[in-house]
A and B are shown apart, each in its own frame.
Chain A
């Protein structure tokens, strides 16, 4: 018997921001940050009337003489080397257009893609005509950012090696604010519970079975389906309370969630509990 209709859940504040800053002052666009014009202005600030004011809503970061405002939710702004998960939107001549949640669609050149069979060779006319066989509109892919356009910020992505970049098979895509993906060395995680989690720096998170690109995977078993659903719900719980995502905190959340049934993880109180405990656990580990 599940309680479905209930009164609204009283939401608590976001648990905490993960950065240790000198000043945790929150500003909105137009707010004055400081009257002292000595500071160097970085992202999110502008020169107002005899003061430095904010252009975005977020927290002030001061490092010595450099002041910036980091906004809470903004479009993904790509850097070279980021791993992203994207959805193919268009197939054009010699390139694909991929939606990565940034201001412009990313570009994936035909020349920077491995062909099936782990082959990287010069693409001929035949390959160009067969582009849709590799990636069609709607497909999910995992790639790496190779270039960021100077003028417009358009990202160029490529698939550097064959083992993890490529088309993603059966699984679940979750869209998460990109600011909640912690930058780390590894974004492609093969978890011990038989599932793979790809934390795209652009906020697109993919959860699914272990796979090697272009090789067929076996039918997803019920146990694996449960694992994937559990991971998805844990990630959504962490995100709902503003906790940054990285592999250990997801695994911690997964372990904490094991005492609930998978569909119970959708309840507000359970989500709050998981997010709070995972965050506290991760804080203890870093100390």
Chain B
């Protein structure tokens, strides 16, 4: 039973019905094992950020804000910028998140989302470098859960990609060398550049339920599940990360099948996500 489950106990009869449904590719609400519910997406909603997005799936609602600041480079990596992802579960989402109740879940989320962007081909951190060896951009990505209804990782990753997609960074003019070096950050709100997010991954979580597996489970389905796997899928079908979590073991053959399905579903979601983001961009003046 994972940290995500609400602890609802189901009767054996209900569990049997749900498991049979998943194994026959026809779940309690008519979805197939590979079907996501409706995902609602809005971007550029937080005016005091460099980029933002809001994503809603079922009962889960997430806000992501990206803020950029100029910092000194890391001594061990002087030619790249920094990406810091932190997750926060608001007490508004659930009474069990009051005080320190959400610490474990927040750590899980931050780690999984950071791990998603760990590979070098997901986001070009070189682009964030301003002066090699001196200064770079540090992007603070804050993921705030306003409502928790399961499938947190997937929703957060989609909102994260959407927020990065519309993140704008001011152009920095560097003049001079050595001690006389001057950095001028442009004031002009239209003199900006955008990150290349064409390779950014999203997380597809597959839950093992009985002899089958499914994406985007309802709360009842999570209560019937054993282990689950987070797969970081990039738009071109590459896998950027994989993590197995939850209590319960997964058969190696099932794992290979899950990866195949995860990548296929991920590619499809990427296509639709890009379509929606492009559609939104065409509405905006910028």
Contact = CB atoms under 8 A, between A and B. Distances in A.
Interface in B1-37: 9-14, 16-17, 20-21, 24, 26-32, 35-37
Interface stretch (A103-111, A124-132, A193-201, A226-234): A226-234
Interface string B32-52: 100111111110000000000
A9 interface: yes
Report the contact-size class of chain B (Cβ under 8 Å from the partner).
Answer: 35 or more
A265 B280 CA distance: 26
Q: Max chain A CB contacts within 10 Å: which of B12, B30, B269?
A: B30
B64 to A, nearest CB: 15
Given A262-B30, A263-B31, A266-B30, A173 B14 contact: yes
B40 A229 contact: no
B272 interface: yes
A211 B56 CA distance: 38
Nearest to B158: A5
A193 to B, nearest CB: 15
B3 to A, nearest CB: 21
A3 B39 CA distance: 9
B11 A5 contact: no
A25 interface: no
Report the contact-size class of chain A (Cβ under 8 Å from the partner).
Answer: 35 or more
Contacts, number: 100
Contact of A220 (B12, B17, B42, B280): B17
A239 to B, nearest CB: 14
Contacts of B35: 2, 263
A9 B17 CA distance: 32
Contact of A6 (B11, B31, B38): B38
A138 to B, nearest CB: 4
30 contacts: A3-B272, A4-B39, A4-B268, A4-B269, A4-B272, A7-B40, A7-B42, A7-B279, A8-B42, A8-B56, A138-B10, A138-B11, A139-B13, A140-B11, A167-B13, A170-B20, A171-B17, A220-B17, A220-B20, A222-B24, A225-B21, A228-B28, A229-B26, A229-B27, A229-B30, A261-B30, A263-B30, A263-B32, A266-B38, A268-B38
